[in-house]
Chain A
Amino acid sequence: MRIDCPYCGERGSEEFSYLGDADTLMARPDADRPDAAAAFHAYVYLRDNPAGRHRELWYHGAGCHSWLVVTRDTRTHAITVVISAAAPRAAGGRG
């Protein structure tokens, strides 16, 4: 599996660390909302875990140290999109 880092170019996946589902992990709930306990349970523990397209967070630890959002098919491991996590984060995610 090779990941095309927007800063470093295409590198072997062994240079990266995996965190998990980007859409869940980049949408940390607001601790002040009335249903915060349920929302945090879902945020910390529940995952869609789809067979198919998955947007996920990878960290380029042996390269530029950026967090990336990688779109990958979990059935084939084929990667279609790699972007920096900074943009979606700035656009509303709480990281």
Chain B
Amino acid sequence: MRYSIFSLIRQAFRGHAGWEPAWRDPAPQSEYDVIIVGGGGHGLATAYYLAKVHGITRVAVVERSWIGSGNAGRNTTIIRSNYGLPGNTAFYEWSMKLWEGLEQDLNYNAMVSQRGVINLYHSDAQRDAYARRGNAMRLHGVDAELLNRAQAREMLPFFDYENARFPIQGGLLQRRGGTARHDAVAWGYARGADRLGVDIIQNCEVTGFLIDSGHVRGIVTTRGVIRAAKVGLAVAGNTSRVAAMVGLDLPMESHVLQAFVSEGIKPLIDTVMTFGAGHFYISQSDKGGLVFGGDLDGYNSYAQRGNLPAVEDVLEAGMAVWPGLGRIRYLRQWGGLMDMSMDGSPIIDRTPVAGLYLDCGWCYGGFKATPASGWCFAHLIARDESHPVAAAYRLDRFATGHLIDEKGQGAQPNLH
């Protein structure tokens, strides 16, 4: 069923009784051309583009829980392409371009909202660093504007500009950045993939792999064996666990990141702001809640929940830049498992096992990457060669020294 104003009116007159499920609930078949493990945004987008761009439709997405139950449905929904290093800039900009056409392509309202993303700077040195990043972006055809203090103040009037320790001097603005509805992105890709023939198999956990003379032949799951000559892993925070089933040690740690939502209030902030003197970022959802977050908790975790020191740290940073926040009650918080790579950048590559492909290392920035990750992972799986904008995301870059370390932190995942 195509969604449109007409289908909406028709259903309104029928008491909305005629809507069909957005995707089927098939039992696994015994064999597919490609299996994607992980029904988050990346896995679903990969399946969609495999079918749509490469014509490979005998595809299954195998998800141990329900689709979008991982980070796809836990993130703070920020999309942007303000990356400064070669290897990243073109990839994230391709993702932004896909976001701009996503809803028409999927015939699904993903609530993509290009409300702008402002990174505030608080010192001359930080301004220079942001100017350099903005220039790198513009050289790649990405939009970037350096705002002075007055311009920032016009967009974000209620912040603490007089703060003696962290005075706000201005910001780097990407107007095309913004937010999207995270669940709807997973659902939209799922529906799109399903309509092209992809089987989305939920409540099906992968517990092992069939490997024969160095080549993957299929997967072992809680719902039986499923065969395929090509298997793609898109399991985010669980990548090390799944990769361990084939004996792969990866340059990765799993960490917990928390997010927070306040009570619903009237429209207050109409852009996305990141504080430059501590780790804090905030935007407002269409329901009215302020959505915010900050640093990782900082230790390896598979618990999908964090601890109070990180909560205190995030709220302190928030209060430093926006004292008025103290008058608003915060309503709920949760955690997700971050696949923190050793240089803070992702991996989209083959593995030493033939036919087994890897899409991981998204750290806490993988939501914005969802469309391009799906596009490039599908390209890699279908053609067995890297897509040009993802060519730097190699697994062997840690051995060859071609790291992509935006923050310059070195091999310390909890600092990226």
Total B residues in contact with A, Cβ cutoff 8 Å: 26
Q: Taking A18-B414, A54-B300 as contacts, is the C-beta distance between A47 and B251 under 8 angstroms?
A: yes
Cα-based distance from A19 to B412 in the complex (angstroms): 8
Task: For the complex, give the distance between the alpha carbons of A42 and B307 in Å.
Answer: 30
Closest-CB distance, B244 to chain A (whole angstroms) = 8
Q: Is the CB of A20 within 8 A of B253?
A: yes
Interface of A is mostly: mixed
A47 and B302 contact, CB distance less than 8 A: no
B304 to chain A, nearest CB (A): 9
Residue of A nearest to B312 (CB): A14
Interface digits, B328-360 against A, CB 8 Å rule (1 contact, 0 not)? Answer: 000000000000001000000000000000000
Taken residue by residue from 222 to 263, chain B's Cβ proximity to chain A (1 for < 8 Å, 0 otherwise) reads as 000000000000000010110010000111111000000000
B342–A45 touching, CB < 8 Å: yes
* Contact A18 to B252, CB < 8 A, known contacts A1-B307, A47-B240, A51-B241: no
Complex CA distance for A47 and B302, rounded to whole angstroms: 15
Are B298 and A46 neighbours in the complex by a CB distance under 8 Å? no
| Cβ of A33 under 8 Å from chain B | no
A77 to B310, CA, bound (A): 14
For residue B3, CB closer than 8 A to chain A, the reply is no
* B250 contact set on A, CB distance < 8 A: 46-47, 49
Complex CA–CA separation, A77 to B230 (angstroms): 36
For the complex, is B158 an interface residue (Cβ under 8 Å from A)? no
A49 and B71 CA atoms in complex are apart in Å by 18
Count A-side interface residues using an 8 Å CB cutoff.
27
Among A19, A21, A51, residue most surrounded by chain B Cβ atoms (within 10 Å): A51
List A residues 50-80 near B (Cβ within 8 Å).
50-51, 54, 56, 72, 74-77
Residues of A within 8 A of B302 (CB): 51, 74-75
Q: Which residues of B (279-317) have their CB < 8 Å from a CB of A?
A: 298-303, 307, 309, 312
CA distance A38 to B309 in the complex (A): 37
With A14-B309, A48-B240, A74-B254 as contacts: A42 and B249 at CB distance below 8 Å: yes
Decide: A13 near B309, CB < 8 A? Known: A56-B299, A74-B254. Answer: yes
* Distance of A1 Cα from B300 Cα, bound (Å): 13
Chain B hits for A12, CB < 8 A: 309
CA distance A92 to B412 in the complex (A): 24
Residues of B within 8 A of A90 (CB): none
- Say yes or no: is B399 at the interface (Cβ < 8 Å to chain A): yes
Say whether A20 contacts B398, CB under 8 Å: no
Could you tell me the distance in whole angstroms from the C-beta of B195 to the nearest C-beta in chain A?
Answer: 35
Interfacial residues of chain A within 1-15, with CB under 8 A of chain B in the complex: 1, 12-14
Interface string of A19-37 (1 = CB under 8 A from B): 1110000000000000001
Given the known A-B contacts A20-B412, A56-B300, are A49 and B254 also in contact in the complex, defined by CB atoms under 8 Å?
A: yes
B411 within 8 A of A: yes
Minimum C-beta distance from B400 to chain A (A): 9
The answer to the question of A44 belonging to the interface, with a C-beta cut-off of 8 Å to chain B, is yes
Top 7 A-B residue pairs of the complex, sorted by shortest distance between their CB atoms: A14-B309, A49-B240, A45-B251, A45-B398, A51-B302, A46-B249, A18-B299
Please name 26 pairs of A and B residues whose Cβ atoms are closer than 8 Å in the assembled complex, sorted by A.
Answer: A14-B312, A18-B299, A18-B414, A20-B300, A20-B414, A21-B253, A41-B399, A42-B249, A44-B411, A45-B342, A45-B398, A46-B249, A46-B250, A46-B398, A47-B252, A49-B241, A49-B252, A50-B240, A56-B300, A74-B300, A74-B302, A74-B303, A75-B302, A76-B303, A77-B301, A77-B307
Interface residues of A (CB under 8 A from B): 1, 12-14, 18-21, 37-38, 41-42, 44-51, 54, 56, 72, 74-77
Told that A13-B307, A49-B252, A77-B303 touch, could you supply 14 new A-B pairs with CB distance under 8 A? A18-B298, A18-B414, A20-B253, A37-B399, A49-B240, A49-B253, A49-B300, A50-B241, A51-B238, A51-B254, A51-B302, A74-B301, A75-B302, A77-B307
